[in-house]
Chain A
Amino acid sequence: MTSRAVGAVWRVEWTKLGAQWKVRALLGACAAGPVAFVAAIRAQRSLPEDTLFGRGVAESGFATPLVVLGFAAIWILPVLTSAVGGDLFAADDRYGTWPTLLTRSCTRSEIFVGKLATALAFSSLAIAVLALSSLAAGVIGIGTQPLIDLSGTMRIEESALALVAGAWTSVLPAAWAFTAIAVFLSIATRSSAAGTGVPVVASLIMQLGTYIDGPELTRRLLLTSGFTAWRGLALEPRDLRPLVWSTVVSLAYFLVATGVAYRLLRRRERAG
């Protein structure tokens, strides 16, 4: 496997992504959504009090990215992380381009790594756009006043910014694991609908699992715990244990999904 060949796959996939309206619409929504949210907050008097940091959203711009993250963890992140990964391999089946792809000078491993890297990069890009847009909308629309964290402590600008950055960065391992699952499903089912839809449904089922009042271990084994573990960063002193757990769990999901997906692709090679 050579990095040059992987790079070639990467460039081709990004060119294809750039031409898709779905991809542009997703990134556009990530950029515009938080701006619309802040505009709505400024235009009305009611606050999203049922969400963590919702009470302080009109007082500090740093609350906006945390409210958006809390909401995104349930609905948006699973969609963003599987939208591209769930379609990358299935699209070649749908358009019948596999035979052409297999005759090029790239090996199956290089194609797999190039496509997987593209899917992971897109997930990261979409999350980064959403995070930066939320932060910019909050800071510009509301201001840089101190933020009251989940321990009731005032966080000044620098500390609040570090919390926001840490919170959004902490969801990346779980996001990459969801992307890997989407890639696996894309290869296993050869269906874009299954590749993009099943991870979202699985995420919602896991979210329902968190509503069961049981032992902490059960909740920590759910992949979606990686989308909420950032709350420990908003406590004083910081509670890093959920974050460490969720990172290890996400890594396990990622390795299993990637390993099985790669094996399936190799088998397909032998069958072909």
Chain B
Amino acid sequence: MERPAARTLTVLIAAAFLAACGPSAITRGRVEQAVAPTFANLVQVQLTRMGLGPVPSPGIHAVATCRRMTPGREDAGAGEWTCTLTWYGPNRTQLVDSYDVSVAPDGCYTASVGAGEGNLGGPTIPAPDGTRTRNVLYAFDGCITSTAR
């Protein structure tokens, strides 16, 4: 490779690495805004699967409060997060559940029911026909939207 080309390539790679060292795009607000509505939608799915009447998503009023558990900053970055979800069940009782949320650098995450969490059940739930079906609230995947702040 010619010298100017090699020099340009080196500068480009160095610039790319320096640019990559900037602040993470994954912030607490973005994680909370992604997890809460997804959870609310999945509650709807779960109720339908169990043969129970639907509750409008705004009626569930899910609010997430998240904190990053991976060493480093508590409010930004990929890694392990924990989210506490406050929401209203079908009979308007307030419920609190916690999730362990693993957020990848690309903004997609996996939320799993937190240790000791008893409200949301195990990996499967009984369906109206007597069989067992996947508990969509036990673990779910999602992605943070790029427009969230």
Contact = CB atoms under 8 A, between A and B. Distances in A.
A and B: bona fide binding partners: yes
Interface of A: 49, 52-56, 59, 148, 150-154, 209-219, 221, 228, 231-232, 234-236, 239, 241-242
Nearest to B105: A213
A150 B39 CA distance: 10
Interface stretch (B81-89, B92-100, B139-147): B139-147
Given A209-B20, A217-B19, A239-B147, A152 B105 contact: no
A235 B139 contact: no
Contact of A214 (B24, B39, B79, B136): B24
Contacts, number: 95
A215 B25 contact: yes
Q: Is the interface of A mostly helix, strand, loop or mixed?
A: loop
A152 B20 contact: no
Given A52-B108, A152-B42, 16 more contacts: A55-B139, A148-B42, A148-B45, A151-B41, A152-B37, A152-B41, A211-B104, A211-B105, A212-B105, A213-B26, A213-B77, A213-B78, A215-B20, A215-B23, A217-B19, A232-B143
A210 B106 contact: yes
Contacts of A231: 108, 143
Contacts of B38: 150-152
A71 to B, nearest CB: 14
Interface residues of B, number: 35
Majority DSSP secondary structure for residues of B touching A: mixed
A214 B42 contact: no
A257 to B, nearest CB: 15
Nearest to A153: B41
A234 B22 contact: no
B39 A215 contact: no
B132 interface: no
B22 A55 contact: no
B122 to A, nearest CB: 15
Nearest to B23: A215
Contacts of A151: 37-38, 41, 142
Contacts of A55: 134, 139-141
B101 interface: no
B21 interface: yes
B31 interface: no
